[in-house]
Copies of this chain bind each other. A is one copy, B any other.
Amino acid sequence: MNGAKSLVKTLLASGVDTCFANPGTSEMHFVAALDQVPGMKCVLGLQENIVTGMADGYFRIARKPACTLLHCGPGLANGMANLHNARRARSGIVNIVGDQAIYHRPFDAPLTADTTSMAHTVSQWVRSSNAPAELGRDAAEAVAAAMQYPGQVATLILPADVSWGEGGVVGNPIAVSPPPSIDGNAIESTARTLRSHGADTLILLAGPAVLAEGQKLAWRVAQATGATVMADYVTSHLARGRGRLQLERVPYGMEAAIKTLERFKHIILVNAKPPVGFFGYPGMPSTQYSPDAQLQVLSRPDQDPVEALAALAQVLNAPQVDMPDPGPRPQAASGAPSPEGLAQTVAALMPENSIISDESVSFGRGFYRFSHAAPANDWLHLAGGAIGDGLPVATGAAIGAKRERRVIGLQADGSAMYSLQSLWTQAREQLPVTTIILNNSKYNILIGEYKNVGATPGETAMSMLDLGNPSLNWVGLANAMGVEAARATTMEECADLMTSSFGKTAPFVIELMI
């Protein structure tokens, strides 16, 4: 058995059965092994950032890692931005990068690169396998590393000769270590703060704490103590809609965030990091909380927030409570497209248990307030700030949901152009993804940031901020990649297109002119 076969068998034995791929020459023995060993579903992406973004979206919904297949250092480089996002989202990915044969590396052939150094910048675990006999064990360790709670990017570099060499041994699945347990002192200390200062305390949730179970426990604690619950702005995946909290995230804008947080004298961090600005700005602090606020860590990002919150609720004797009623489901909006209208329409029409991939950037800042009363849904965000994850995350999420759930993409146009090749994979795999492209023909977030610099953009600046010359035609782009599409200029048109696409098991693009 060659190394490649031992690798495929180890992955399957460890529960990894989906491979997002863009292979090259040095991976052909691995491709052949995937052909010969049945059981792995292989999904092609036409550029590597699609591949890695799909693996991220897959994990967020399937809650188990897929593997990737990338070609040498430059193939890894192409997929690094969405690995950066996945690392920030704490998504588990077994990131497999084919590379030059070990003996061929010193010859510095054109595709030779410092793949290991590249990998370290976006991975929590990196190994370059050294021999066919070690590859199975290396792969089992990579899977365990990817599954380390809540999830990690584990990069396994696969030299071509380790892949083709004989002597492969299937690796035994490795038991994943449980997350580090919660410190009893942290629970007691947090309980004391909440008992004494509940009304001045913010419980800030991030990571798995914003999924359904964590929200319920946090709500119990808040009801018992008068504390406020919010989600970190940097949150990859929230449970939303009926039966969940009407959570708001800390605002993106620095001034709004500072204003929102200033009244809290205590902030309890539940898998969250202390809230800081996305960027530094002249004359403003880096942190968003009050200089007088006391920060307490209830659970670190690598600990189980449900364990922590359950223990906290128990110590506080917090009674069981119903989740708050979000009010009546909104109706679809009419007239000119607006952020509120789109959020209401999505909430009005989405099927139960939908997945929302939200990379709406500036247009979507106010979506939450108008979509709390939607049916229960999973709402996915860009967690690492590297734009271009919305389309591939939607694609991977649809596969992670075994095509059984409707995926709705709320997608800014500028970001969509980073990874438009995703639409082709959606067509190839016939995925139930409805993407609403928000076409404003500009990098609107940057025009806002430019104005913060204190000036109106002139001709040279607008040559870098405006996408309107020529206009992108998203119906044409989608059609050319095999995806049906139509343009909407009113909310009624948008609603009609959404309703009809929700009845189909195929992708659809709505180009909403905003």
Interface residues of A (CB under 8 A from B): 21-26, 28-29, 31-32, 34-36, 40, 42-44, 46-47, 49, 69, 72-75, 77-78, 80-81, 84-85, 88, 100-101, 103-104, 107-111, 113-114, 117-118, 120-122, 160-161, 164, 234, 273, 276-280, 282, 286-287, 383-386, 388, 414, 417-418, 420-421, 424, 427-428, 445-446, 449-450, 452-453, 455, 457-461, 463-465, 467, 469-477, 479-482
Contact = CB atoms under 8 A, between A and B. Distances in A.
B100 A460 contact: no
A234 B479 contact: no
Closest 3 CB pairs of A and B: A470-B482, A476-B480, A104-B280
A280 B161 contact: yes
Contact of A28 (B160, B424, B453, B471): B453
B78 A81 contact: yes
A280 B287 CA distance: 51
A463 B386 CA distance: 29
Nearest to A81: B74
B460 A103 contact: no
Contacts of A109: 276-279, 385
B476 A479 contact: yes
A42 B460 CA distance: 7
Contacts of A113: 84, 121-122
Contacts of A384: 74, 110-111
Given A107-B276, A473-B479, 18 more contacts: A23-B446, A31-B464, A35-B458, A36-B458, A42-B464, A44-B463, A46-B418, A73-B84, A75-B81, A75-B386, A77-B80, A104-B286, A108-B273, A109-B278, A109-B385, A424-B472, A472-B480, A477-B480
A283 to B, nearest CB: 10
Contacts of A114: 120-121
Given A81-B77, A385-B110, A279 B473 contact: no
Contacts of A469: 428
Contacts of A417: 46-47, 421, 424
17 contacts: A31-B446, A32-B461, A42-B460, A44-B464, A49-B78, A74-B81, A74-B384, A74-B385, A75-B386, A100-B280, A107-B287, A111-B385, A111-B386, A161-B280, A424-B470, A470-B482, A473-B479
B279 A101 contact: yes
Given A277-B104, A449-B28, A42 B463 contact: yes
Copies in the complex: 2
A110 B383 contact: yes
Contact of A428 (B161, B164, B470, B476): B470
B32 A455 contact: yes
Contact of A472 (B28, B31, B452, B481): B481
Contacts of A386: 72, 74-75, 77-78, 111
A19 to B, nearest CB: 9
A43, A118, A277 interface centre (most CB from chain B within 10 Å): A118
